[in-house]
Amino acid sequence: MERSPDIIWAYRGKTDLAVGTQATTIEKILGWTAGFIGVVLIGFFYWKNDFDWTIWQYILAVIIAYDIVGGAVANSLNSCKRFYHSSLQTFEPNYVKLAKNHLFFSIIHIHPLIVSLIFSSASWFYGVFWYLILQISVLTVTNTPLYLQRPVSMLIIVTALLINGYFVSSPTGFEWFVPVLFIKIVYGHTVKEEPYRPETEKNI
């Protein structure tokens, strides 16, 4: 019978905020490839529909797609779960402690405000609404007992998906944005889960 991967919280090496310090090769590939897929698919959608945007708006939209789509996968990696849910290690610079703060991580994701400001001709409501809901969601999950964090995060994500689809209109071209953002932050970054590592990669 094949041995199950080990749960390992210890890590070492050069700080990697993107995919987590000491990520395995396949974890790195998954994280960076996800961002590339986001750029290709969403970028193709933008090109095909020929939105009335300036060049810099297209560039910004693609950057947002790379960050959010790639981050949704990267934050769910075992290496990221291990890194962001561990206390500051002795070999890490002090700024890492701030990066590991889930609320701070969520607060700096001002993407809804940017999308609303740059791509919405309607109002600021979309950006302000989703930015505030995101912070409330992270606070809710972090204050939820560990054994309920995953289902609570999924409840929040499903609710956000339905509100996004039927009640709060998205700026044209960003219909995908809120569901993927909430997957990235509310589940991927905030929910604490056991960080597995294959036996062949166990070199702590």
% the chain with pLDDT above 90: 87
Give pLDDT, residue 34.
Answer: 97
Q: What is the pLDDT of residues 136-148, one digit of tens each?
A: 999 999 999 999 9
Cα(163)–Cα(109) distance, integer angstroms: 20
Query: pLDDT, tens digit, for every residue of 148-204?
Result: 999 999 999 999 999 999 999 999 999 999 999 999 999 999 999 999 988 665 544
Residue 103 confidence (pLDDT) = 96
**What are the tokens at 33?**
């490839």
pLDDT value at position 198? 80
- Is a pLDDT exceeding 80 seen at residue 2? no
Q: Which residues pair with 197 in a beta bridge?
A: 6
**Cα–Cα distance measured from residue 178 to residue 29, given in angstroms and rounded to the nearest whole number:** 24
* Nearest Cα residue to 189 out of 110, 111, 81: 81
> What pLDDT is stored for residue 4 in this prediction?
63
* CA distance linking residue 174 with residue 187, whole number of Å: 20
| Whole-number Å distance between alpha carbons of 31 and 64 | 15
